[in-house]
A = this chain, B = another copy of it.
Amino acid sequence: MMNILYVAPGLGVLALIYTWVRSGWVSRQDAGDDRMKTIAGYIADGAIAFLKAEYKVMVLFALIASAFLFYLGSTGEKSSPIIVVAFLIGAVFSALAGFIGMKIATKANVRTAQAARTSLAKALNVSFSGGSVMGMGVAGLAVLGLGSLFIVFYQIFVVSKGGSANGVEMETALEVLTGFSLGAESIALFARVGGGIYTKAADVGADLVGKVEAGIPEDDPRNPATIADNVGDNVGDVAGMGADLFGSYVATILATMVLGREVVAAGDQFNGLSPILLPMVIAGVGIVASLIGILMVRVKEGGDVQAALNFGNYVSVAISAVAAFFIIRWMLPAGDLVIGRAGAIPFTSMDVFYAVVVGLVVGTLMSIITEYYTAMGKRPVLSIVKQSSTGHATTVIGGLAVGMESTVLPILVLAAGIVLSFRFAGLYGVAIAAAGMMATTAMQLAIDAFGPIADNAGGIAEMSELPKEVRERTDILDAVGNTTAATGKGFAIASAALTSLALFAAFMGTANISVIDISHADVLAGLFVGGMIPFIFSGLAISAVGRAAMAMVQEVRRQFREIPGIMEGTGRPEYEKCVAISTQAAIREMMLPGAIALVVPVIVGFTMGPEVLGGLLAGVTVSGVLMAIFQSNAGGAWDNAKKSFEKGVMIDGVMQYKGSEAHKASVTGDTVGDPFKDTSGPSMNILIKLMSIVSLVIAPHIAVPDRGMAQVETFRQKLSVEAPAQTITPRPAVVKTMPTATVARR
Apart from A404-B536, A518-B618, list 19 A-B contacts with CB within 8 A: A383-B543, A387-B546, A394-B671, A401-B539, A411-B532, A412-B532, A422-B520, A422-B521, A430-B521, A513-B519, A518-B614, A520-B740, A520-B741, A522-B742, A523-B742, A535-B626, A608-B740, A609-B740, A668-B668
Q: Contact: A517 with B516, CB < 8 Å?
A: yes
Instruction: Known A401-B539, A536-B404, A742-B609; judge A208-B390 contact (CB<8 A).
Output: yes
Chain B residues near A407: list those with CB within 8 A: 532, 535-536
The chain B residue sitting closest to A507, CB to CB, is B519
Q: Contact: B520 with A517, CB < 8 Å?
A: no
Chain B residues near A419: list those with CB within 8 A: 521-522, 525
Chain B residues near A626: list those with CB within 8 A: 531-532, 535, 623
Instruction: Known A408-B532, A418-B525, A542-B397; judge A742-B208 contact (CB<8 A).
Output: no
Q: Contact: B415 with A525, CB < 8 Å?
A: yes
**A611 CB-CB contact with B under 8 Å:** yes
What CA separation (Å) do A421 and B525 show in the bound complex? Answer: 11
22 A-B interface contacts by CB (under 8 A):
A383-B543, A394-B671, A400-B672, A402-B539, A404-B536, A404-B539, A405-B536, A405-B540, A407-B536, A411-B528, A412-B532, A416-B525, A418-B524, A419-B525, A423-B521, A531-B622, A532-B626, A609-B739, A609-B740, A609-B743, A611-B742, A704-B743
Chain B residues near A418: list those with CB within 8 A: 521, 524-525, 528
Q: Contact: A396 with B396, CB < 8 Å?
A: yes
What CA separation (Å) do A469 and B579 show in the bound complex? Answer: 59
**A279 CB-CB contact with B under 8 Å:** no
**A130 CB-CB contact with B under 8 Å:** no
What CA separation (Å) do A740 and B608 show in the bound complex? Answer: 8
Contact with B along A531-549 (1 / 0, CB 8 A): 1100110111011011000
Chain B residues near A542: list those with CB within 8 A: 397, 400-401, 404
Q: Contact: B612 with A740, CB < 8 Å?
A: yes
Minimum CB–CB distance from A458 to chain B (whole Å) comes to: 25
Q: Contact: B528 with A414, CB < 8 Å?
A: yes
Residues of chain A from 204 to 253 with CB closer than 8 A to chain B in the complex: 208
Chain B residues near A516: list those with CB within 8 A: 517-519
Q: Which of B528, B668, B739 contacts A622 (CB 8 A)?
A: B528
What CA separation (Å) do A527 and B412 show in the bound complex? Answer: 11
**A564 CB-CB contact with B under 8 Å:** no
What CA separation (Å) do A539 and B400 show in the bound complex? Answer: 7
Return the 7 tightest CB-CB contacts between A and B, nearest first: A422-B521, A404-B539, A393-B671, A415-B525, A405-B539, A411-B532, A531-B622
**A746 CB-CB contact with B under 8 Å:** yes
What CA separation (Å) do A24 and B535 show in the bound complex? Answer: 48
Minimum CB–CB distance from A433 to chain B (whole Å) comes to: 11
The chain B residue sitting closest to A525, CB to CB, is B415
Residues of chain A from 712 to 732 with CB closer than 8 A to chain B in the complex: none
What CA separation (Å) do A615 and B623 show in the bound complex? Answer: 14
Chain B residues near A398: list those with CB within 8 A: 543, 546
Q: Which of B393, B430, B504, B619 contacts A672 (CB 8 A)?
A: B393
**A625 CB-CB contact with B under 8 Å:** yes
What CA separation (Å) do A402 and B540 show in the bound complex? Answer: 9
Chain B residues near A535: list those with CB within 8 A: 404-405, 407-408, 626, 630
Residues of chain A from 428 to 459 with CB closer than 8 A to chain B in the complex: 430
**A569 CB-CB contact with B under 8 Å:** no
What CA separation (Å) do A44 and B669 show in the bound complex? Answer: 39
Chain B residues near A400: list those with CB within 8 A: 539, 542, 672
Q: Contact: B415 with A531, CB < 8 Å?
A: no
**A514 CB-CB contact with B under 8 Å:** yes
Minimum CB–CB distance from A361 to chain B (whole Å) comes to: 16
Chain B residues near A508: list those with CB within 8 A: 519
Chain B residues near A539: list those with CB within 8 A: 400-405
What CA separation (Å) do A680 and B668 show in the bound complex? Answer: 22
Instruction: Known A411-B532, A415-B529, A675-B397; judge A742-B402 contact (CB<8 A).
Output: no
What CA separation (Å) do A648 and B200 show in the bound complex? Answer: 32
Chain B residues near A527: list those with CB within 8 A: 618, 622
**A343 CB-CB contact with B under 8 Å:** yes
Q: Contact: B529 with A412, CB < 8 Å?
A: yes
Chain B residues near A526: list those with CB within 8 A: 415
Q: Contact: A668 with B393, CB < 8 Å?
A: yes
Residues of chain A from 653 to 685 with CB closer than 8 A to chain B in the complex: 667-669, 671-672, 675
Contact with B along A617-639 (1 / 0, CB 8 A): 01100110110001000000000
Among A208, A404, A619, the one with the most B-chain Cβ atoms within 10 Å of its Cβ is A404
**A103 CB-CB contact with B under 8 Å:** no
Among A383, A390, A522, A669, the one with the most B-chain Cβ atoms within 10 Å of its Cβ is A522
Minimum CB–CB distance from A288 to chain B (whole Å) comes to: 31
Q: Contact: A519 with B528, CB < 8 Å?
A: no
What CA separation (Å) do A390 and B419 show in the bound complex? Answer: 48
Chain B residues near A701: list those with CB within 8 A: none
**A392 CB-CB contact with B under 8 Å:** yes
Chain B residues near A671: list those with CB within 8 A: 391, 393-394, 397
Chain B residues near A746: list those with CB within 8 A: 513, 704
Chain B residues near A540: list those with CB within 8 A: 401, 405
Minimum CB–CB distance from A185 to chain B (whole Å) comes to: 22
Minimum CB–CB distance from A605 to chain B (whole Å) comes to: 13
**A515 CB-CB contact with B under 8 Å:** yes
The chain B residue sitting closest to A531, CB to CB, is B622
Q: Contact: B742 with A612, CB < 8 Å?
A: yes
Chain B residues near A667: list those with CB within 8 A: 393
Minimum CB–CB distance from A672 to chain B (whole Å) comes to: 5
Residues of chain A from 491 to 509 with CB closer than 8 A to chain B in the complex: 501, 504-505, 508
